[in-house]
Amino acid sequence: GICVDKCEKVYTPPEEAKNQETYKVAGISHRIDALETLGKKNPNFDKPEQELREKGLVGSSIWEYSFSPRKDRRGVLIPEPDNPADANAIKVVVDGRHIGYIPAESCAHVHDLLKKGRIQEIKCALGGGRKKSFTGYGDRYILESDFCPYSARLTITTMASSFFSMATLPSRGSVLNRT
């Protein structure tokens, strides 16, 4: 819910008052090290073929890093007005690590959401990287390496503009009402 100042009362908006927007994070290829720290290294990735067979991993894709969904993985958006490449840039930070930017063509809209206080939640889904495909045919096994580009996708939950306006915030400690 939304908490106003001292949180004496909390208002949780109904689901119909919320919208979700999805953005592909730009520039992650320049921040691979930060991205990989958000994943868990797969101990099977560097195992030899024999050990993979013994572990029953025939028919599996074995990713170097696991980016399993985590309910607590939240994103933070930080405007960068001093960014030399783009004064409208918005940095994307996940679990304290800068992983990229909101795409330039979406920055004006996201700046507006930030300015009006409409963003309720930011979640980030991560994926990609090096993987091995391990297949078997009878007594013959094939272990192939591949690379899938890293990706980061933000889902931003916002309040519908018709429902919530920062211009009509109630006084401290009171319940937010629909306007």
Q: What is the pLDDT of residues 92-139, one digit of tens each?
A: 999 999 999 999 999 999 999 999 999 999 999 999 999 999 888 877
Percentage of the chain beyond pLDDT 90 is 53
Return the pLDDT at 7.
37
Tell me: the pLDDT tens digits for 45-75? 999 888 988 998 888 889 999 987 665 678 8
Cα–Cα distances (Å) from 169 to 1, 121, 155, 173, in that order, read 14, 19, 25, 11
d(CA 140, CA 23): 43
Cα–Cα distances (Å) from 13 to 3, 59, 85, 145, 172, in that order, read 11, 46, 38, 48, 18
Give the mean pLDDT of 9-21.
Answer: 60
- Span between the terminal Cα atoms of the chain, in Å: 17
Enclosing H/E stretch for 120: strand 119-137
Neighbours of 161 (CB within 10 A): 12
d(CA 7, CA 159): 19
Asked whether the predicted pLDDT for residue 165 surpasses 60, the reply is no
pLDDT band at 40 (very low <50, low <70, confident <90, very high): very high
Return the pLDDT at 173.
36
CB-based contact 163:14 (threshold 8 Å): no
Which tokens belong to 131?
């993987």
Give the bridge partners for 131, in sequence order.
63, 146
Q: Note the residue count of the chain.
A: 179
d(CA 177, CA 164): 8
d(CA 173, CA 34): 39
Query: Which of 21-25, 93-97, 136-140, 166-170 is the least confident region?
Result: 166-170
